[in-house]
Amino acid sequence: MRNQVVRLALITALVCCVPSVNAGKPAGGTTASSYTALSLGVLSEDAYSHGFGVSAAGSVVGQSVHFVTVSGSSMDVPRAFYWSRGTGMLPLPTNIAADGTESTSIAWAIAGGVTGSEFAVGEESAVGKATHAVIWNSPPTTKATPLETDLSKGSWAKGVNEQGIAVGSWGLSAAIWVADSSEIDDGYKRTDFTFVSGLPNEAEDVNEAGVVVGNADPGNQSRAGIRLANGQVYPLPPVSGDAYSAALAVSNVFAMTVSGVAINAVYVAGWTQSANGVQRAVRWTVNVGTGSVAGMILLPREWASGVNSGGDVLCNYGQGTKPPTLFRNNTYYSLKPPKGATGAAAFGLAGAASSTTYAAGVAYSQRASSERAVVWTIN
């Protein structure tokens, strides 16, 4: 698993920071004049839920969790869900194990839905079997299709674009899965690559041009990287003086001018971390023609989990005790949780800067097992 859920427990106190070099920003980004925060509830008989991914149509995926008792101990059992305003929260169908039990599952990302089909990706696992990456085509009407049938190594899918190209991990390698009818086992061709060889690697997000971002040694001494559409891989360095970096999201490609030169670029959101564990949110600007970093800004939050081509960044504090924020046009807009919640964290951002923007995450309160998936609609 990814994961920001685990990651929240590891984040240390924030220290004040200031912007570093910031490359020019394209036109876009509107004033966040208003927003709504909606709690999505849980699946029937479940205890809590988390929203992880959101599409440009405002659909949300994540996990809804119930408890089971095994050998006298309580265990959390997650079920992947899909939510839209038209359907409400529905379980994403998974495969049935040989013993008749249903697989546990989590949906990490969703894309599409504005002009075509939606695609959701994540993972499922059955008792005694390795976790494996799955995709839901046209969720929630179709059951999970395995992206990987080779279960000799664990796999999971963390990102997907509107073409249904999925990214994640297989074993120690980052992975890209593309639909291919010649692959008779599962219908998907996997391409393995690494950001840093000799370490565990994980791809986190992919844009419409096939640009992928992710990390080597994620969750430990993370090294962020970007893979361009031509297959070339480049590092995304931490800010000067820091030791580690992590990348969680990539925007679509946009045109901009840097020092009088026109380039095609993407924004990447994540964090930079000192050797003693102090994290700060960051947004890189990367030239997709050369792989070079054209600019980098630090944001006074602890980690950034979403970004779009207008430069908007979804930012979070550590333990979720403060609301997440949307960084837009050099202003921070607080995204408060629904009434009754005491804190929140946001994991996914979707929507162009000139259109309605959506964020997905979780709201917390002081009551035990009170987490609820949330969608913020920002106008």
Identify the CA nearest to 316 among candidates 326, 302, 328, 306: 302
Identify the CA nearest to 351 among candidates 114, 85, 94: 114
Helix (H) or strand (E) holding 341: none
Other residues' Cβ atoms within 10 Å of the Cβ of residue 58: 20
Hey, what's the torsion of the CAs at 170, 173, 179, 185, to 10 degrees?
Answer: -40
Identify the CA nearest to 222 among candidates 249, 193, 196, 240: 196
Residue with tokens 């205890």: 47
On whether the CB atoms of residues 46 and 35 are closer than 8 A, the answer is no
pLDDT of residue 24: 33
pLDDT of residue 42: 97
Q: Return the exposure string of 1-16: e unless at least 16 CB atoms fall within 10 Å of the residue's CB, then b.
A: ebbbbebbeebeebee
**Beta strand 155-160 with 145-146: parallel, antiparallel or unpaired?**
unpaired
275 burial (CB, 10 Å; 0-12 / 13-18 / 19+) is: exposed
Token pair listed for 71: 């050998």
C-alpha distances out from residue 348 to 100, 121, 229, 282, Å:
34, 13, 23, 16
Identity of the residue numbered 352: A
> Which domains, and CATH codes, for the chain?
4-378 (2.130.10.10)
Identify the CA nearest to 348 among candidates 100, 135, 55, 24: 55
pLDDT of residue 28: 38
Token pair listed for 85: 């305003």
pTM (predicted TM-score): 0.90
Helix (H) or strand (E) holding 7: helix 4-8
Other residues' Cβ atoms within 10 Å of the Cβ of residue 348: 27
Gap between the terminal Cα atoms of the chain? 32
Note down pLDDT in tens along the chain; length 379 residues: 333 333 323 222 222 222 223 233 333 344 445 899 999 999 999 999 999 999 999 999 999 999 887 777 778 889 999 999 999 999 999 886 666 666 799 999 999 988 889 999 999 987 777 899 999 999 999 989 999 888 889 999 999 999 999 999 999 999 999 999 998 878 999 999 999 999 999 999 999 999 999 999 998 899 999 999 999 999 999 999 999 999 999 999 999 998 899 999 999 999 999 999 999 999 999 999 999 999 999 999 999 999 999 999 999 997 667 899 999 989 999 999 999 898 999 999 998 767 899 999 999 987 766 899 999 999 8
pLDDT of residue 358: 97
